[in-house]
Amino acid sequence: MSKDIKSVEHSSKIHQRNDPQHVNDRTFFIDASNQSLTAIPLEIFTFTEVEEVHLENNQIEEIPQEIQRLKNIRVLYLDKNNLRSLCPALGLLSSLERLDLSYNPIFSSSLLIVSFLHALRELRLYQTDLKEIPVVICKNLHHLELLGLTGNHLKCLPKEIVNQTKLREIYLKRNQFEVFPQELCVLYNLEIIDLDENKIGAIPEEIGHLTGLQKFYVASNNLPVLPASLCHCSQLSVLDLSHNLLHSIPKSLAELRKMMEIGLSGNLLEKVPYLICRWTSLHLLYLGNTGLHRLRGCVRRLVNLRFLDLSQNHLDHCPLQICALKNLEVLGLDDNKIGQLPSELGSLSKLKILGLTGNEFLSFPEEVLSLASLEKLYIGQDQGFKLTYVPEHIRKLQSLKELYIENNHLEYLPVSLGSMPNLEVLDCRHNLLKQLPDAICQAQALKELLLEDNLLTHLPENLDSLLNLKVLTLMDNPMEEPPKEVCAEGNEVIWKYLKENRNRNMMATKIQAWWRGTMVRKGFGKFGELLKPRKKGKTSPKDKKGKKDVKGKPGKGKKK
* The 3-state secondary structure of 411-447, one letter per residue: CCCCHHHHHCCCCCEEECCCCCCCCCCHHHHHCCCCC
Query: What would you measure as the largest C-alpha separation in the chain, in angstroms?
Result: 134
- Return the ∠ at Cα 284 (arms to 279 and 290), rounded to 5°: 90
Q: Are 326 and 350 in contact (CB under 8 A)?
A: yes
In this prediction the pTM is: 0.84
Cα three-residue angle 121-127-133, rounded to 5 degrees: 55
Q: Up-side HSE of residue 229: CA atoms within 13 Å toward CB?
A: 11
pLDDT of residue 493: 86
Which residues are CB-contacts of 91 (< 8 A; sequence separation ≥ 6)?
Answer: 113, 114, 115, 116, 117
Name, in order, each residue with C-beta under 8 angstroms of 504's C-beta and a sequence gap of 6 or more: none
pLDDT of residue 347: 96
C-alpha angle 449-455-458 in degrees, rounded to nearest 5: 70
Spatial distance between the Cα atoms of 311 and 265, rounded to a whole number of angstroms:
9
Q: Supply the pLDDT for residue 392.
A: 96
| Residue 269, C-beta contacts closer than 8 angstroms, at least 6 positions apart | 246, 247, 248, 287, 290, 291, 292
Q: What is the pLDDT of residue 500?
A: 78
Residues of the chain whose pLDDT is less than 50?
A: 2-24, 540-560
Q: Which of 74, 46, 60, 165 lies closest to 105 in space, CA to CA?
A: 60
202-208 contacts: CB < 8 A, separation 24 or more? 203/227, 203/230, 204/180, 205/229, 206/182, 207/180, 207/233, 208/232, 208/233
